[in-house]
């Protein structure tokens, strides 16, 4: 049965996948779906802080911009940031972990010690330091997130590679004279792929949370960018009056991250039933 088919059978994963697809489509077609697409950077000061209505589904912000439309364009920023940051982290961390795990010894130890340094502080702390130094722009956020996330992957893949190496069929392949690269790519990688895929989904959710926290602190893309975290920060000055302004972006984040988490959970059930019983090995990131 194909992977997609198996996912479709698991209702939890399916729900997550549908929500993600819906939001992604909404982001792509933001221009068409938005009721006031120009509100991303133009203002109508006379319509400020209007409550939700038939015209403005989620109300307006302090400059008169339609919140619903800005949310849609903000989804682009959120998804792009998370996808690129996670992709870069995976592309750096996975090969590093593979190599270090396969040739354990000094090289392996060194690579793991380097990742330990990055992991010595919680991700957001280091990400804040990096993003603040480089300045509030979307590229810097992505860079900060990538630089602080690759060690998780390196560590995870390192542990899994070492486990996989002791499997009999891997040892057989090596004994039969397969080159290390062949073993790593054709044998080990597919074996650990489920683990990577599951954690990618959950990692996307976590990255969205961290990225919006950076935006909330003012380290994300600058105004008038409709980044979700920044919208929440802006909304604070107008509480408790304009509560819809703070609620909408937060709910958007909640739905999107929950979808990624559910997808990850569902994938875990589908791809690797073993993991369901034992929980995760120590040191690897849970969520």
Q: Is 104 in the site for another protein (CB under 8 A)?
A: no
Q: Is 207 in the site for another protein (CB under 8 A)?
A: no
From candidates 183, 212, 263, 270, binder to another protein by CB under 8 A: 212
Residues near 36 by beta carbon (within 8 Å), at least 6 away in sequence: 56, 65, 66, 69
Q: Could you give the CA distance from residue 8 to residue 12 in angstroms, rounded to a whole number? A: 9
Between the CA of residue 73 and those of 69, 135, 139, 175, what are the distances in Å? 7, 22, 17, 55
Q: Is 146 in the site for another protein (CB under 8 A)?
A: no
**Residue 249 Cβ vs another protein, minimum distance, rounded to whole Å:** 8
Q: Is 240 in the site for another protein (CB under 8 A)?
A: yes
Task: Please identify, among the stretches 19-27, 29-37, 124-132, 162-170, the one whose residues bind another protein according to the rule CB under 8 A.
Answer: 124-132
Q: Is 184 in the site for another protein (CB under 8 A)?
A: no
Per DSSP, helices labelled H in the chain are 3-9, 11-28, 30-33, 67-102, 106-118, 123-134, 138-165, 168-175, 180-182, 189-216, 228-235, 243-271, 273-278
From candidates 261, 263, 267, 269, binder to another protein by CB under 8 A: 261
Q: Is 110 in the site for another protein (CB under 8 A)?
A: no
From candidates 246, 263, 270, 271, binder to another protein by CB under 8 A: 246
Q: Is 118 in the site for another protein (CB under 8 A)?
A: yes
């Amino acid at each position: 049965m194909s992977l997609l088919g198996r996912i479709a059978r698991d209702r939890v994963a399916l729900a997550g996948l549908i929500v993600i697809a819906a939001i992604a489509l909404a982001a792509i077609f933001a221009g068409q779906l938005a009721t006031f697409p120009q509100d991303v950077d133009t203002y109508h000061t006379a319509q400020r802080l209007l409550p939700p209505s038939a015209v403005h589904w989620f109300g307006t912000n302090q400059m008169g911009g339609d919140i619903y439309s800005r949310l849609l364009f903000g989804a682009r920023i959120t998804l792009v940031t998370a996808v690129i940051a996670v992709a870069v982290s995976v592309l750096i961390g996975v090969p590093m972990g593979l190599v270090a795990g396969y040739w354990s010894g000094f090289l392996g130890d060194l690579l793991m010690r380097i990742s330990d340094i990055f992991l010595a502080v919680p991700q957001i702390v280091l990400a804040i330091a990096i993003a603040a130094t480089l300045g509030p722009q979307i590229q810097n956020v992505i860079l900060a997130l990538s630089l602080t996330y690759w060690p998780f992957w390196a560590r995870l893949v390192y542990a899994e590679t070492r486990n996989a190496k002791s499997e009999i069929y891997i040892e057989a392949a090596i004994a039969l004279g397969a080159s290390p690269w062949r073993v790593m790519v054709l044998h080990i990688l597919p074996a650990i792929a489920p683990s990577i895929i599951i954690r990618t989904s959950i990692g996307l959710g976590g990255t969205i949370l961290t990225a919006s926290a950076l935006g909330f602190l003012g380290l994300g893309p600058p105004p008038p960018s409709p980044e979700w975290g920044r919208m929440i920060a802006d909304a604070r000055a107008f509480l408790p009056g304009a509560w819809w302004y703070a609620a909408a972006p937060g709910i958007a984040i909640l739905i999107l991250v929950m979808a990624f988490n559910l997808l990850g959970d569902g994938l875990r059930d589908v791809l690797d039933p073993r993991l369901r019983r034992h929980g995760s090995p120590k040191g690897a990131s849970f969520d």
